[in-house]
Amino acid sequence: MNNFGYYILILGFILSTYSGIMFIFGSYKDNKVFIKSATRGFYLSLIMIFISSVTLISLFLLNDFSNIYVFNHSSLDMNRALTFVAFYAGNEGSLLYILFIHALLSGIMLYFAPIGIKNNLSYSCGILSLISAFYLFVLVFYANPFEVSEMNNSDGRGINPLLRHPGMYIHPPLLMSGLASISIPFVISQGALFDSKKNNNWFSLLRIWSLISWTLLGAGLLIGAWWAYTILGWGGYWSWDPIENVGLMPWLVLTALIHSIMVEERRGMFRLWNIILVSLTFILALLGTFINRGGPVVSVHSFAASTLGFLFLGFMIVMTFFSLLTIIYKYKNIQKNANKIESYLSRESSFLLNNVLLVLTSIIILWGVLFPVVSILFTGTEISVSAPYFDKTAGPILLGIIILMGIGPILSWRQTTPKATLFRILPSFVLTIILLIYLVVIGITKFFALISLCSIFFVLTIIFREWIGGTKSRMKNSLNPFSAFIKMIISNRGRNGGYIVHLAILSLAFGVVGTKFYDERLDTNLNVSEVINFKNYNIQFDSIEQEIN
């Protein structure tokens, strides 16, 4: 069975390489026979990857400890429910999982692509196939999950105890899926670059898949924060760990991209900027894979040091140069007929500023992640960067982004007069000043806490005022408040969907402010039956119980 899984990987590698070459060559020659053949290879490679994944899971279920990967991440007393977690618990299995998600989402993207654009996806699918071929090359030659042990093992070493937490069923799969899915917006943008017909369907396809990647990555980060809070013992949900950061950076750039795509669709602007954002997101995702595969940056989440990190470093460098070359090659076409910003007091200007701040935050975080490596290269001594650096540098910029969340949507496209802008924000500003006075009176005097809470409240009131105004206007048609509100939300799903996301971000920001400025902790030793009083709570250590599986 191990040999079967390995040979299927080899077959998948051959099919992915073939389909990648045939897609690109067929696109270049406009040869439909080549493209049709490549499409078949594309779907067959997905089937091969799926069979390999099922084979590895079967080896876990059969307790085949002759397989080195199964031996290292499973045991006879392991709960069967943990098989899925064990599948991606190590380097080899997680790479196979990432490959499977990449291939699966690629297949879904091609199968469900709009008819008007499906015939132009051959170049994009060629890149996706070659990315799959790279992963398969690594699995076949450097990280074989079907390698057989020479020893006769009757039991395995067991799964890492930290991975037994319920969050491990969701956090790693979502995070890895988010990083793997970023390749799809990247290849869609590349396809748009080389589309001579200038099909506008690229915008909707890019927006949809950017949102999918953004959602997967964001959900993975949030559940990871919950896992860290409950199991790692950090006393918090976020510690600016390098692996946390390499998941956050592409999410921030994706956030910028989703806003920027709206401007390109609406005003025909920022096309070059959007191509850069997509490419940067993809490179940051590859950086995360590189660091997580035993790269030079140490993290509690990363796998043991291995040569795989340098393979992914090489791949990241190749894809970086590829992105730069395509942008340079198509620069004139990208800038052709591009509209310009007419007023700095407009929605597109606020979106651009929002983009710049999000990318700047990512750069600041990237510098903190790579600084230990830079310090070794130039001084010979590793200097680590801790949470205070990120809090003091990225924190104020993120606060500025929150304020823009309120101002940007109320500005008009093209141009907004200062008088109209003041009219729209003045009520919220007055309410915010009242809140500021109230907070000071009740004893909240920390400067950054006050500014943060007032900024959150300012944006919150703007959103509610927009919704209340829209609901009232629809109540004139004899609708009750609830029906009018639902109709208002549905009437502009894009705008109101953005408001709902903004509310979620504000809730998260409120929690961050509370825990950062008003978190109180107590470290102490307790004996059995001992009671301690902390902040009007009596905490009693009742007993110790041992559970034997």
Distance separating alpha carbons of residues 291 and 242, to the nearest angstrom: 8
- Interior angle at CA 409, CA 335 and CA 483, nearest 5: 130
Q: pLDDT value at position 203?
A: 80
Distance separating alpha carbons of residues 185 and 182, to the nearest angstrom: 6
Q: pLDDT value at position 22?
A: 94
- Interior angle at CA 214, CA 494 and CA 322, nearest 5: 115
Q: What is the DSSP letter of 230?
A: I
Task: Please indicate, yes or no, if residue 68 is contained in any of the structural domains.
Answer: yes
Q: pLDDT value at position 306?
A: 59
Distance separating alpha carbons of residues 140 and 504, to the nearest angstrom: 43
Phi (first) and psi of residue 533, to 5 degrees: -100, 130
Q: HSE of 144 in the Cβ direction (CA atoms, 13 Å)?
A: 17
- Interior angle at CA 127, CA 123 and CA 133, nearest 5: 140
Q: Two tokens at 366?
A: 């990237």
Q: pLDDT value at position 410?
A: 84
pTM of the model: 0.89
CB neighbours of residue 114 within 10 Å: 12
Task: Please indicate, yes or no, if residue 378 is contained in any of the structural domains.
Answer: no
Cross-strand partners of 534: 537
Task: Please indicate, yes or no, if residue 309 is contained in any of the structural domains.
Answer: no
Task: Please indicate, yes or no, if residue 131 is contained in any of the structural domains.
Answer: yes
Task: Please indicate, yes or no, if residue 57 is contained in any of the structural domains.
Answer: yes
Phi (first) and psi of residue 538, to 5 degrees: -100, 115
CB neighbours of residue 350 within 10 Å: 20
Print the domain residue range for 447.
418-518
User: Helices marked H in 336-477 — which ranges?
Assistant: 347-379, 387-407, 418-441, 447-475
Q: pLDDT value at position 542?
A: 85
Phi (first) and psi of residue 537, to 5 degrees: -115, 135
42: nearest Cα among 96, 89, 110: 110
What letter represents residue 508's amino acid?
L
The burial of 418, by beta-carbon neighbours within 10 Å (0-12 exposed, 13-18 middle, 19 or more buried), is given as exposed
Give per-residue pLDDT as tens, 325-377. 999 988 887 777 667 777 788 888 888 899 999 999 999 999 988 888 888 87
Domain count, the chain: 2
8 A C-beta contact, residue 226 and residue 167: yes
Which of 140, 164, 188 is at the close of a domain? 164
Task: Please indicate, yes or no, if residue 370 is contained in any of the structural domains.
Answer: no
- Interior angle at CA 317, CA 251 and CA 41, nearest 5: 80
Task: Please indicate, yes or no, if residue 523 is contained in any of the structural domains.
Answer: no
Distance separating alpha carbons of residues 279 and 282, to the nearest angstrom: 5
Task: Please indicate, yes or no, if residue 448 is contained in any of the structural domains.
Answer: yes
Tens place of pLDDT per residue across the chain (549 aa): 888 999 999 999 999 999 999 999 988 888 889 999 999 999 999 999 999 999 999 998 888 888 888 888 888 888 888 888 888 888 889 899 999 999 999 999 999 988 878 878 899 999 999 999 999 999 999 889 999 888 887 888 888 777 777 777 888 889 999 999 999 999 999 988 887 666 667 788 899 999 999 999 999 998 888 877 777 655 577 778 788 888 899 999 999 999 998 888 887 788 888 999 999 999 999 988 888 765 555 555 555 555 677 888 889 999 999 999 999 988 887 777 667 777 788 888 888 899 999 999 999 999 988 888 888 878 877 777 888 888 889 888 999 999 988 888 888 888 888 888 888 888 889 999 999 999 999 888 888 889 999 999 999 999 988 888 888 888 877 678 888 888 888 888 888 888 889 999 999 888 888 888 887 777 788 888 888 888 788 888 888 877 665
Q: pLDDT value at position 233?
A: 56
C-alpha separations of 311 from 36, 146, 294, 320, 450 in Å: 32, 20, 11, 14, 48
